Structure 1
């Protein structure tokens, strides 16, 4: 049976209208992906390019505060941090935290600044709060591992790197870092 030609143009116009043709899988593909789904995909993928894209999307999701004011403060804090004005950056991220105490990325950014400023105790406190709010925060876990390494607490560094890799098995140099830490721990115990 042939499709009548006089119906083809109206059908094509209807399909071209946004929303009218989106049913089933097409509509589902447009639905926002949750953080849990991103982490599931990150665990499943074997493709390094897809892993980097998923990592980027996770970082973007962590950075969303649902507030233009907070996002402007976050961007300002990052800019100030990149310029090396750590005191001012800490103040900005502290303001973010005061405005939204359940925003994990505010604590993570302040932890980063404190780490750069050499305030390891302050950084660890912010990392702990970040992880209370987002236990899968592989960036905070990797930061904790770096601090523990600098403090020569290699068993804790190893534990933090393992947790970071459990959250994101695609972390750059992750397996090599684990081997290096195990080697250093073994050398200390001899």
Structure 2
């Protein structure tokens, strides 16, 4: 292996640094290489550490190199928080048309569809989210909730368990999985 301590090699690497950094910034959502380490840390994190790691993952998921896509996402999230679910759905619909490979676009549209009780649409959008980002614990948890509403508790339990395998400290999801398991198998929680 060649040493990089020589002046010429060092200048070459330093010359490539801006391009490498620009590439790093251009990476968005599910393609960011930092996610692998964050997910590994999340699996082993306790309830105190997990929220900070989750926040880092979400920050990456919410990034997109297209400013308009980012703006549509931000606007839709604000509409969701204002309980304007139909308007949020329309905003996220624009977003998935503009950025069909952006997992968070599909996840947010699934959220709006779920809140509108459009469960089949929510499930389809969650499936698209998971095709793009199979580690999307939030999408898996929402899939569990949608499947419960659709009367499929066994499949819902598998979705909850898959979410917990990725993010073991999600207390609400753990509680829901325990409730479904108790209902299915007649055990007290």
TM-score, length-normalised on structure 2? 0.77
- 1:43 aligned partner: 43
Write the distance in 1 (CA, Å) between the matches of 2:75 and 2:175.
35
1:70-149 map, 5 Å: 70-149=69-148
Instruction: Answer yes or no: is 1:171 the counterpart of 2:170.
Output: yes
Write the distance in 1 (CA, Å) between the matches of 2:143 and 2:53.
22
- TM-superposed deviation, 1:34: 0.2
TM-score, length-normalised on structure 1? 0.77
The C-alpha deviation readout for 1:119-168, integer Å capped at 9, x for no partner, is 00000000000000000100000000011112221101101001000111
Q: CA RMSD in A?
A: 1.6
- TM-superposed deviation, 1:98: 1.2
- For the 8 Å contact 2:107–2:139, the answer to whether it is kept is yes
Write the distance in 2 (CA, Å) between the matches of 1:126 and 1:118.
13
In structure 2, the CA distance between the partners of 1:173 and 1:91, relative to structure 1 (3 Å rule), is closer
Write the distance in 1 (CA, Å) between the matches of 2:81 and 2:95.
17
- For the 8 Å contact 2:107–2:125, the answer to whether it is kept is yes
- TM-superposed deviation, 1:33: 7.0
- TM-superposed deviation, 1:93: 0.7
Write the distance in 2 (CA, Å) between the matches of 1:108 and 1:138.
11
- For the 8 Å contact 2:135–2:166, the answer to whether it is kept is yes
5+ unaligned residues in a row in structure 2: which ranges? 1-31
Q: Which of the pair has more CA radius of gyration? A: 1
Q: Secondary structure of the residue that 2:117 maps to in structure 1? A: coil
How many residues are treated as equivalent by the alignment? 155
5+ unaligned residues in a row in structure 1: which ranges? 1-31
- TM-superposed deviation, 1:172: 1.8
- TM-superposed deviation, 1:52: 0.7
